[in-house]
Amino acid sequence: MSELNLENEIAELVDWLGSYGADSKGGVSRLLYDENWVKAQHALKEKFEGLGMAAKFDEVGNLFAKLEGSEFKDETVATGSHVDSVKFGGKLDGAFGVLAGYLAVKYLKEKYGQPLRNIEVVSIAEEEGSRFPFTFWGSKNIVGKVDSSEVRDIKDADGVNFVDAMKEAGFGFKTSDEGIPADWKQWLEIHIEQGGVLEIEKIPVGIVQHIVGQRRYTVELKGQANHAGTTPMKYRKDAGVAAAKIINMIHDQAVDYGEPLVATVGSIEFVPGTVNVVPGQANFTIDVRHTHKDQIIAFTDEMEAKMKSIAEESDVSIEINLYMDEDPVPMDPTIVQTIVEQCDEQGSSYKLMHSGAGHDTQRFAPLVPAAMIFVPSRAGISHNPAEFTYPREMAEGIKVLAHALHKLAY
């Protein structure tokens, strides 16, 4: 398969899969267990079977397509990504990793025939949490049985119950406690970067060494709502001003810590939220990420102490709720080195980097050697109809994936 054909094929496949859930804003809305998701998964199953792969669904709707090895039938090198999208998202997030696996297998089979070990491409049911308030449903079920009580009572924006949607799509709960497939020996995921680093630095391939850990908070400040005209500045208990001081402090502290730490206040609300009333309450969120857990802990411990001090100085109360605490996940050094060697052999320029976003790979990496490959995202845009990667860049990434799979499976 020539490079030109690979470019054409991936461009055509992206448009083909993007037709399942194509929306009015020019992007894709393909949500867990909706009609577009069901059609996409079944269409992918047919695609894989057309390559001579054995394809099957598990109980919750993850799709597994296997090219059987000739000798080591109990050893599998797996690759893939998720098939669901965010609402009004792009055509590439998740989907590219599934299609890249398909084309990598097609290329390897045509050029080298049957592998020694199995190669399995997985179209993971769900990662985004876009329809229901539950993320990583697909990969969590692959690594173990998810407690059904976690999803039995959750509903989507239209009031549709999770279980009802799952049954309507033809799937159900996992019945066994069996964890990650015993034959999986390595896992590789290729994904668009969803950031601008590779494009800015004009590097076609990113090799991920860590997926960042995250801590997320909600913060509630309570002061006293009062008349904006009759309450002197020195007598105010202004929750809005306290929030502003805290947000500015978080930004400055993050800058002082330096890369790769990032901290974001992405949502804020003043109550009562009226132009002529001193805010009596402020609610906001905090998102902190870093590649090392000890740095996240040190940063957030210092941040929390400073927030409490500012609240006290501002004569307002503060309630801090840590609702997400995800550890960083390192990639397997041996697989990372394998990808590096394949890039060197093929003359592909690459950057060793970390992933600032979460991925299904972080669910697999603690249990099986795993790594990730990135391709550039134009302007760093993702979760948006403008999400785009040039076909030549996608092709370059697919070649790296294929050569890494060849090294591991052949």
For 276, the 3-state DSSP assignment is coil
Residue corresponding to tokens 């100085």:
313
90: number of Cβ within 10 Å: 27
* Of the candidates 137, 13, 12, 142, the residue with the CA atom closest to the CA atom of residue 84: 137
Q: Which of 410, 407, 260 has the alpha carbon at shortest distance from 334?
A: 407
Same domain flag for 127 and 33: yes
Nearest to residue 146, comparing CAs of 173, 169, 126?
A: 173
Judge whether residue 77 has pLDDT over 60. Answer: yes
The span from the CA of 386 to the CA of 91, in Å, is 9
Span 349-362, mean pLDDT?
96
pLDDT tens-digit series, residues 107-142: 999 999 999 999 999 999 999 999 999 999 999 999
Q: What pLDDT shows up at residue 5? A: 86
> Could you read off the pLDDT of 147-191 as tens digits, one per residue?
999 999 999 999 999 999 999 999 999 999 899 999 999 999 999
% of the chain at pLDDT higher than 90: 98
- For 30-59, the pLDDT digits (tens) are 999 999 999 999 999 999 999 999 999 999
Same structural domain for residues 21 and 142?
yes
Q: Cβ distance 228 to 278 under 8 Å?
A: yes
Contact (Cβ atoms closer than 8 angstroms) between residue 361 and residue 388: no
Closest CA to 340 of 208, 212, 210, 211: 208
Residues 124/81, Cβ–Cβ less than 8 Å:
yes
Last residue of a domain, one of 274, 300, 326: 326
Locus of tokens 């009759």: 230
Check whether residue 312 and residue 335 sit in a common domain: no
Q: Mark whether 269 and 131 lie in a shared domain.
A: no
Task: Give the domain range for residue 207.
Answer: 3-212+328-409
pLDDT at residue 1 in the model: 47
Q: Are 262 and 202 part of one and the same domain?
A: no
Angle at 79 between CA 77 and CA 84, to 5 degrees: 155
- Same-domain check for residues 312 and 337: no
* pLDDT tens-digit series, residues 303-324: 999 999 999 999 999 999 999 9
Instruction: Name the DSSP class of 284.
Output: E
Instruction: For residues 294 and 273, state if they share a domain.
Output: yes
Rounded-to-integer distance, Cα 312 and Cα 293, Å: 29
Say which CATH number the domain at 138 has. Answer: 3.40.630.10
Q: 142 and 200 in one domain?
A: yes
pLDDT digits (tens, 9 = 90+) for 9-34: 999 999 999 999 999 999 999 999 99
The answer on 157 and 242 residing in a single domain is: no
Domain of residue 257, CATH code: 3.30.70.360
Rounded to the nearest angstrom, the gap between the alpha carbon of residue 120 and the centroid of all alpha carbons in its chain is 20
State which of 278, 298, 326 marks the end of a domain. Answer: 326
What local confidence, expressed as pLDDT, does residue 272 receive?
Answer: 98
Written as one string, the DSSP assignment of 387-404 is ----HHHHHHHHHHHHHH
Is pLDDT above 70 for 280?
yes
Q: Distance between CA 405 and CA 398 in Å, rounded?
A: 10
> E strands within 125-183?
none
Element (H, E) at 14: helix 3-18
- Tell if the pTM clears 0.85, that is, is over it: yes
Contact between residue 214 and residue 288 where contact means Cβ atoms under 8 Å apart? yes
pLDDT at 7: 95
Task: Give the end-to-end CA distance of the chain in Å, rounded to a whole number.
Answer: 18
Q: What is the mean pLDDT of residues 97-105?
A: 98
**257 shares a domain with 185:** no
What's the confidence (pLDDT) of residue 3? 52
Phi-psi region of 234 (alpha: psi -120 to 50; beta: other; left: phi over 0): alpha
Quick one: 320 and 377 in the same domain?
no
Domain count, the chain: 2
Among 299, 326, 353, residue at a domain's last position: 326
pLDDT digit string (tens) for 362-397?
999 999 999 999 999 999 999 999 999 999 999 999
Alpha helix segments (H runs only) across 274-390: 293-313, 333-346, 361-364
